[in-house]
Amino acid sequence: MHILIVDDESLARSRLRALLGNCAAGHTVTEAAHAADAMATVQNAVAARHPVDAVLLDIHMPGQNGLALAHALRALPAPPAIVFVTAHADHAVSAFELDAVDYLTKPVRLERLQQALAKVQRSAGHAGTAAPAPPASGEALVIQDRGRTERVPLAEVLVLKAEQKYVTVRTGSRSYILDASLAELEVRHAAHFLRVHRNALVARRAMRSLEKHYDAEEGEGWALRLHGLAELVAVSRRQVAAVREVLAS
């Protein structure tokens, strides 16, 4: 892959370049210190017929920040995949709205970088196809519960639901409590989960039908039926169109 690192700090760029060197061989790595330089690099790479496949993008930079640059990159005919790399975890929702493939927080660990690059490759390999690939067999959520650590395979997870400061992880057989942010999970696993409500993500592969539903608090609305789950999952009105689109595909 051709990977572009965009960060105004040279040490941060050097660290990412070193980590990329420990990933699978064959990557072409270029750098840019600010948004204008990055956009020029992307455009020149297209002209040279060696387009940038992925941009490792910092958010807080002098001048045009990473979010603004991501907007500009999205407008290109064949935009590169965006992986945000930042010391701040409070931009995850904005990153998801920009269709970021992943969202890494500094200091970046090699394992997380490798996962992000794998997602870039999967997204490129499935561009234009209707259905996303199922989660890889090794993908899992790590649950810490009463001194015990348990890996819950992502392929078994049906619903992720925000509950105050925690996220309830629902499989077909039981529930777990995960100390995590729903917004960060949404960005990290966007290929496999769809937001259907302000507090809920569902597994795309498990979506079965959209039904009219009456809720005592919200009144008449919509709910989603999932394979392997008895109870319905509420769907907000603003997400109905997205749910229908996934079901139609």
Q: What is the pLDDT along the chain (249 residues), one digit of tens a residue?
A: 899 999 999 999 999 999 998 876 678 999 999 999 999 999 999 998 899 999 999 999 998 999 899 989 988 888 999 999 988 766 655 665 667 888 888 889 898 898 888 888 877 754 444 445 566 656 889 888 777 888 899 999 999 999 888 999 999 999 999 988 888 888 888 889 999 999 999 999 999 999 988 766 666 889 999 999 989 999 998 899 888 888 876
pLDDT for 77-108, tens place per residue?
A: 889 999 999 887 666 556 656 678 888 888 89
| CATH number of this structure's domain 156-248 | 2.40.50.1020
217: left (phi over 0), alpha (psi -120 to 50) or beta: alpha
Match domain 2-125 to its CATH number in 3.40.50.2300, 3.40.50.360, 3.50.50.60, 3.30.70.1140.
3.40.50.2300
Residue 97: per-residue pLDDT: 62
Q: How far apart are CA 160 and CA 182, in angstroms?
A: 7
Q: Which residue has the tokens 């970046």?
A: 108
Residue 175: per-residue pLDDT: 93
Q: Which part of the chain is CATH 2.40.50.1020?
A: 156-248
pTM across the whole model: 0.53
Q: Which part of the chain is CATH 3.40.50.2300?
A: 2-125
Q: What is the full DSSP assignment across 43-91? A: HHHHHTT----EEEE-S--SSS-HHHHHHHHHTSSSPPEEEEEES-STT
Residue 215: per-residue pLDDT: 67
